[in-house]
Chain A
Amino acid sequence: MEFSALLAQLLNGLAEASSLFLVAAGLSLIFGVTRIVNFAHGSFYMLGLYVAYSTVEYLVGRLGPAGFWVGLVVAPVAVGAFGALVEIVLLRRIYKAPELFQLLGTFALVLVINDATLYLWGPEELLGRRAPGLAGSISLLGRQFPTYNLFLMVIGPLVLGLVWLLLARTRWGVLVRAATEDRQMLGALGVNQAWLFTAVFALGALLAGLGGAVQLPREPANLALDLRSIGDAFVVVVVGGMGSLPGAYLAALLIAEIKALCVGIGSVHVLGLDFSLSKLTLVVEFLVMAVVLVVRPWGLLGKPQAGSRNSAPAEAPLRPAGNGLRWVALVVFVALAALPLLQTWLPYASVLAQDVLVSVLFAVSLHFIMGPGGLHSFGHAAYFGLGAYGAGILLKVLTLPMPLAFTFAPLVAGLGALLFGWFCVRLSGVYLAMLTLAFSQIVWSVVFQWEAVTGGSNGLTGVWPAAWLGDTAYYYLTLVLVAASVLLVRRIVFSPFGYALRAARDSALRADAIGIDVMRVRWAAFVVAGLFAGLAGALFVFSKGGVSPDVMAVGKSVDGLVMVLLGGIQQLVGPLLGASVFSVLQDSIMRATDYWRAVFGGVILLLVLVFPHGIAGFFQGLGNAWARLAARKPALLPREKRA
Chain B
Amino acid sequence: MSLLQVRDLSKAFGGVRAVDGIHFDLHEGELLAMIGPNGAGKSTTFNMVGGQLRASGGSIQLQGRELVGAKPRQICHLGVGRTFQIAATFASLTVLENTQMALLSHHKRLYHWWRPVRDQYREQALALLEQVGMAAHAERPCSELAYGDVKRVELAMALANDPRLLLMDEPTAGMGPQERNELMALTKRLVVERRMAVLFTEHSMDVVFAHADRMLVLARGRLIAEGDAHSIRNHPQVQQVYFGSGKTFERPPQEPQP
Contact = CB atoms under 8 A, between A and B. Distances in A.
Interface of A: 313-317, 320, 491-492, 494-500, 502-503, 505-507, 509-517, 521, 524
B20 interface: no
Contact of B101 (A492, A499, A512): A499
Interface string B119-139: 010000000000000000000
B118 A513 contact: no
Nearest to B74: A515
B110 A521 contact: yes
A503 B93 contact: yes
Interface stretch (B29-37, B84-92, B197-205, B211-219): B84-92
B108 to A, nearest CB: 9
Contact of A500 (B84, B89, B110, B160): B110
Contact of B110 (A315, A496, A502, A513): A496
B112 A496 contact: yes
B117 A515 contact: no
B106 A515 contact: yes
B76 interface: yes
B90 A510 contact: yes
Contacts of A502: 90, 92-93
Interface string B149-183: 00000100110110000000000000000000000
Contacts of B72: 512-513
A613 to B, nearest CB: 14
A83 B238 CA distance: 61
Given A495-B117, A514-B76, A317 B94 contact: yes
Given A320-B118, A495-B115, A499-B117, A517 B93 contact: no
B221 interface: no
Nearest to B95: A317
Nearest to B87: A510
Contacts of A511: 90
13 contacts: A317-B94, A320-B116, A495-B114, A496-B104, A496-B112, A499-B104, A500-B104, A503-B101, A510-B84, A513-B50, A513-B158, A514-B157, A516-B73
A510 B118 CA distance: 20
Contact of B109 (A496, A513, A514): A496
Contacts of A516: 73, 101, 105, 110
Nearest to B94: A317
B93 A506 contact: yes
B71 interface: yes
Contacts of A505: 92
A499 B125 CA distance: 15
Contacts of A496: 101, 104, 109-113, 115, 117, 120
A323 B104 CA distance: 29
B105 A514 contact: yes
B143 interface: yes
B93 A515 contact: no
Interface string B211-240: 000000000000000000000000000000
A511 B118 CA distance: 19
Contacts of B84: 509-510, 513
A448 to B, nearest CB: 36
B88 A507 contact: yes
Contacts of B120: 496
Contact of B102 (A315, A316, A320, A514): A514
Contacts, number: 121
- Closest 8 pairs between A and B when the two form their complex, measured CB to CB: A314-B143, A314-B91, A510-B88, A515-B76, A315-B92, A506-B90, A512-B72, A494-B116
Contacts of B73: 512-517
B104 to A, nearest CB: 5
Contacts of A500: 101, 104-105, 110-111
Contacts of B92: 314-317, 502, 505-506
Given A314-B141, A502-B93, 12 more contacts: A317-B141, A320-B118, A495-B112, A495-B113, A497-B110, A499-B97, A500-B104, A502-B92, A510-B84, A513-B72, A514-B158, A516-B73
B42 interface: no
A511 B111 CA distance: 14
Contacts of A503: 90, 93, 101
A453 to B, nearest CB: 34
B89 A509 contact: no
B76 A513 contact: yes
Contacts of B115: 495-496
B77 interface: yes
B5 interface: no
B56 interface: no
A450 B82 CA distance: 53
B52 interface: yes
Contact of A507 (B89, B109, B111): B89
A512 B84 CA distance: 12
A494 B117 contact: yes
Interface string B54-93: 0000000000000000011100110001101000111111
A496 B121 CA distance: 11
A221 B143 CA distance: 52
A640 to B, nearest CB: 23
B104 A510 contact: no
Contacts of A497: 110-113
A381 to B, nearest CB: 25
A492 to B, nearest CB: 5
B198 to A, nearest CB: 16
A509 B113 contact: no
Contacts of A521: 110
Nearest to A518: B73
Contacts of A492: 113
Contacts of A524: 111
A496 B94 CA distance: 14
Contacts of A316: 92, 141
Nearest to A498: B113
A513 B88 contact: yes
B112 A515 contact: no
Nearest to B115: A495
A431 to B, nearest CB: 21
A55 B165 CA distance: 74
Contacts of B143: 313-314
Contacts of B91: 314-315, 506-507
A317 B82 contact: no
A495 B71 CA distance: 25
A370 to B, nearest CB: 14
A313 B115 CA distance: 28
A512 B161 CA distance: 13
Nearest to A509: B88
B168 to A, nearest CB: 12
A521 B110 CA distance: 8
Contacts of B104: 496, 499-500
A513 B117 CA distance: 20
B114 A491 contact: yes
B227 to A, nearest CB: 30
A499 B141 CA distance: 14
A612 B182 CA distance: 44
Contacts of B90: 502-503, 506-507, 510-511
A238 B111 CA distance: 34
A366 B91 CA distance: 22
Given A496-B112, A503-B93, A515 B161 contact: yes
